[in-house]
Amino acid sequence: MSTVLSASGPRQPSDVLAPGADAPEEILVARVCMGDTAAFDTLFRRYRSRVFRQALHLLGNPAEAEEVAQDVFVAFYEKARTFRGESALATWLYRLTANAALSRLRRRQRSKEVALDDYLPQLREDGHHLVRPVVDWSADLEQGLAHAQLQQRLRQTIELLPPLGKAVLVLSDFEERSNRDIGDALGLTVPAVKARLHRAQLFLRGQLTGARVVLHR
């Protein structure tokens, strides 16, 4: 960025009056790269709610989500020079948040491990199901449980998923991200995202209905 001239001589861009809250994103990022804390504060205010919400969806814990949000913005400030502008800053922050939350999920010590394979359809060699596949379950569940109870059970069941499976499910169903965006954030191919999402959804259905798949010899 070129030097700005004034009556007293040349000044560096970081000495110039900080841009307002509506300043273009690329200008703010460039100033952050030069150590401009005012520009950083502007971007922090612009994106902090979005980053916190995404972290909360993934972690389910406000305190942990707040810590992840802080980690994300610290990482952004320290690594701003690596942002090449090939995608929107929101997308870059989204990737940082997803990976930070995923790391925390992997470090958690869960008290109960459940095998997803127990809730997946089992197939014969000819490709047909050994048992009737899981069918639509929402209507039956809502008849037997109040909405609040259903939501609580759903949250508890999501916590049983492996970290990567939970991340894919939450980013798809809660954040409404595309499979391509999820793959970019988590380092997965689109087919891998689809496969993990399908397995996670089948697992939830099996857990919530108690319909454990049984192998028939």
Please indicate, yes or no, if residue 19 is contained in any of the structural domains: yes
Within this chain, do residues 98 and 186 fall inside the same structural domain, yes or no?
Answer: no
Exposed (0-12), middle (13-18) or buried (19+): which is 15, by Cβ within 10 Å? exposed
Residues in Cβ contact with 186 at an 8 Å cutoff, skipping those fewer than 6 apart: 98, 99, 102, 164, 167, 168, 171, 193
Question: Is 170 inside a domain boundary?
Answer: yes
Number of domains in the chain: 2
Instruction: Evaluate whether residue 16 is within a structural domain.
Output: yes
102 and 128 in a single domain? The answer is no
pLDDT at 17: 46
Check whether residue 94 and residue 22 sit in a common domain.
yes
The reply to whether 134 and 51 lie within a common domain is no
- What pLDDT is stored for residue 16 in this prediction? 44
Q: Does residue 217 belong to any structural domain of this protein?
A: no
Tens digit of pLDDT at every position of the chain (217 positions): 333 333 333 334 444 445 566 788 888 999 999 989 999 999 999 999 999 999 998 898 899 999 999 999 999 999 888 887 777 888 889 999 999 999 888 887 554 444 455 445 555 555 544 544 444 545 555 555 456 676 777 788 888 888 888 899 988 888 888 999 899 888 899 999 999 999 888 888 887 776 543 323 3
Residue-level pLDDT at 208? 75
Q: What domain range is 197 assigned to?
A: 116-209
